Homo-oligomer: A and B are copies of this chain.
Amino acid sequence: MATMELTKVLRFSAAHRLMSPALSRVENRRLYGACVRGHGHNYALEATVRGVVDADGMVMDAAALEQAMQTVVDLVDHRDLSRDVPALAGTVTTGENLVATFYRMIDRALPPGRLVRVAVVETENNRFEYEATGEAP
């Protein structure tokens, strides 16, 4: 009985800026650098499920995983993450915070215990990843 992982990748294009309301303009600039200015990315969203391969040769229905991810993409694609996405309101849109939010959304849409990892890739040089540890991110 093989324990296998399936990873799917979806892409979206969004704007964001890093600015914390708890910090002064100078502190924001020192902390987040050029990212305090409005800019954007072609993001990749990767989600991984794990499980035993069933009689149909699958870890889980890949269409169900894609649907759970697409729900996230529909909320963020061609949006400004720092202004126009209610699920991210009050969140500084760092890659880390995006991953945590997306993990919770995808996890809720899947059978318990299947989702093991979510990653957000901002550019080919920046990757953020959360791996399940038994507690919510």
Contacts and interface: CB of A to CB of B under 8 A. Distances in A.
A109 interface: no
A108 interface: no
Given A2-B100, A6-B127, A6-B128, A94 B37 contact: no
A13 B39 contact: yes
Interface in A109-137: 122-131, 133, 135, 137
A33 interface: yes
Tell me how many chains of this kind the complex includes.
Answer: 6
A100 B4 contact: yes
B137 A2 contact: yes
A87 interface: no
A13 to B, nearest CB: 5
Contact of A96 (B8, B59, B94): B59
Interface of A: 1-11, 13-16, 18, 20, 22-23, 31, 33-35, 37-42, 53, 55-59, 61-63, 77-80, 83-84, 91-97, 99-100, 122-131, 133, 135, 137
27 contacts: A1-B135, A2-B96, A2-B100, A2-B137, A4-B99, A4-B100, A5-B129, A6-B127, A6-B129, A8-B125, A8-B127, A9-B127, A13-B41, A13-B123, A15-B15, A15-B16, A15-B38, A34-B77, A37-B78, A39-B40, A39-B79, A39-B80, A42-B42, A53-B100, A57-B97, A58-B94, A59-B96
